[in-house]
Amino acid sequence: MRIVAEYPSVDFKITVFSWNGKYLLKIEKGMFEQTYKISEMDITGDEEVKKIIEDPVFVEEIKTRFKNMNQSLNDALNRI
Q: Where are the beta strands (DSSP E) in the chain?
A: 2-8, 13-19, 22-29, 32-39
Asked whether the whole model's pTM tops 0.85, one would answer yes
For residues 37 and 40, what is the distance between their CA atoms, to the nearest angstrom? 9
- The model's pLDDT over 19-64, given as tens digits with 9 standing for 90+, comes to 999 999 999 999 999 999 999 999 988 889 999 999 999 999 999 9
- The model's pLDDT over 15-28, given as tens digits with 9 standing for 90+, comes to 999 999 999 999 99
